[in-house]
Amino acid sequence: MSGVNLSGIVKAYGAVQVVHGIDLDIAEKEFVVLVGPSGCGKSTTLRMIAGLEEITAGDLTIGDRRMNRVAPKDRDVAMVFQNYALYPHLNVADNMAFGLRIRKMPKAEIKTTISEVAEILGLTEYLDRRPADLSGGQRQRVAMGRAIVRHPKVFLFDEPLSNLDAKLRTQMRAEIKRLHNRLGVTSVYVTHDQVEAMTLADRIVVMNNGSIEQIGTPMELFNNPANTFVAGFLGSPPMNQLKGTLTESGAKVGETEIKLNGSVATQAGRDVIVGIRPEHVTLTAGEKTTALPISLDLVEPLGSEALLHGHFGKDSLVFKTETGGDINHLSGVGEVHVNASLVKLFDAETGHALSLGA
């Protein structure tokens, strides 16, 4: 097993640069998720690690070896693709063993390896079936098994769950996490789904327009986003972002002054974005809360929780609250409350997070 280091990595197609000199250090045994909207460069970055895309500039190392000019087959990485990439005419056992036979591993060792990995993935009873006879989740496990049997230094996952339904995605997320905990292999996982990123990652790398916006643990990024892009991308629903202006004692949004947990007197008059997580809103007042009058448009029940969609002045807001098994009492909500310690501030011009004085 080895760590992966990207230093000043650039990818350009002719005059068009799609990855702009990114730096990323992935520790041995770490599970890192690259997340971002379509076209942000995350899959291109993964393919450069795999050797499927040529690196325009910068250095890629796996372990202590520079990999820029090393062929994909010699990098000792294994990739799991979005479309499974299974051979339809081969059964499960032969699909998983294909790469091992190419490497001329002894037959007895191949059989033992396939048996062990099939047991880990719950595929033992399906070894004689062909891909057409399997469900989507089973096919994905076969694709993962084909990667695992090679005992690579690095696992690479390119949106492996995007073709599955919601229930299977949830099941496979848990299986991938358990598998990583069991095998401890350095893993790089690409997805546009921020729920996958939050649940799977040791660290998340948020990408946008070919650059890295922020790197951190799921909770670091959720609680302290570096800018409005990260704040709006991570979280379900994403953070509410309201245009406001700092006063000597808070942030004024429309006619309401929102309390802040810190001093902003020296920055009075500065235009800001006030960030409020849907989860950080309550229906009851507290000592350090600010009441936000809202015009409720919709109550969206989710079972134990509900999403309240409404307007605060000209801004659309979404808040999350517990239902207690009943949503009837939510239809009359006219105001919500936000705690000063949970409000985030961002510069209105740059979008960068602002720190509050003591």
Average pLDDT of span 213-227? 96
Does 268 score more than 60 pLDDT? Answer: yes
d(CA 276, CA 318): 10
Tens of pLDDT along 97-145? Answer: 998 888 888 999 999 999 988 988 889 999 999 999 998 888 888 988 8
Tokens of 338: 């936000």
pLDDT score recorded for residue 115: 92
24/1: higher pLDDT: 24
pLDDT for the residue numbered 141:
86
- 251 backbone dihedrals φ, ψ, rounded to 5°: -125, 120
Please tell me the distance from the alpha carbon of residue 38 to that of residue 80, in angstroms, as a whole number: 19
pLDDT at 245 over 90: yes
The pLDDT tens digits of the residues spanning 44-67 come to 999 999 999 999 999 999 998 999
Amino acid 183: pLDDT: 86
Ordered by start, the domain boundaries in the chain are: 4-229, 240-354
Q: Read off the pLDDT of each residue in 77-98 and give the average, rounded to a whole number.
A: 89
| Model pLDDT, residue 150 | 84
Give mean pLDDT, residues 257-286. Answer: 89
Q: What percent of the chain has pLDDT over 90?
A: 59
Domain spanning 240-354, CATH class: mainly beta
In DSSP notation, 88-108 reads: TTS-HHHHHHHHHHHTT--HH
Name residues whose C-beta falls within 8 Å of residue 305's C-beta, 6 or more positions apart in sequence: 320, 321, 322, 323
pLDDT at 225: 96
pLDDT confidence bin for 71, thresholds 50/70/90: very high
The predicted structure's pLDDT at residue 258: 93
Please give the radius of gyration of the chain, using alpha carbons only, rounded to the nearest integer: 24
**Please, which contacts does 252-258 make with residues 24 or more away whose CB atoms are closer than 8 Å?**
253/312, 253/313, 253/315, 254/312, 254/313, 254/314, 255/313, 256/290, 256/291, 256/292, 256/293, 256/312, 256/313, 257/290, 258/290, 258/292, 258/338, 258/340, 258/343
What are the pLDDT digits (tens) for 301-355?
A: 988 888 999 998 888 899 998 887 878 878 888 889 999 999 999 999 999 999 8
Residue 273 has pLDDT above 60, yes or no: yes
Tell me the average pLDDT across 30-36: 96
* Residue 94 pLDDT level (bands cut at 50, 70, 90): very high
- Residue 358: how many CB atoms within 10 A of its CB? 4
CA–CA dist 138, 308 (Å, integer):
38
Mean pLDDT, the chain, as a whole number? 90
Q: What is the pLDDT of residue 81?
A: 84
Q: What is the pLDDT at residue 1?
A: 57
Q: What is the pLDDT, as a whole number, of residue 357?
A: 61
Whole-angstrom distance, CA of residue 64 vs CA of residue 236: 39
pLDDT at residue 83, as a whole number: 79
Confidence of residue 358 (pLDDT cuts 50, 70, 90): low
State in Å, rounded, how far the first CA of the chain is from the last one.
Answer: 45
Nearest one of 130, 149, 150 to 139, comparing CA atoms: 130
User: Would you tell me which CATH number, out of the four given (3.40.50.12780, 3.40.50.300, 3.40.50.1820, 3.30.360.10), belongs to the domain 4-229?
Assistant: 3.40.50.300
Q: Structure pTM? A: 0.89
Amino acid at 294: I
Residue 242 and residue 324: Cα distance in Å, rounded?
A: 29
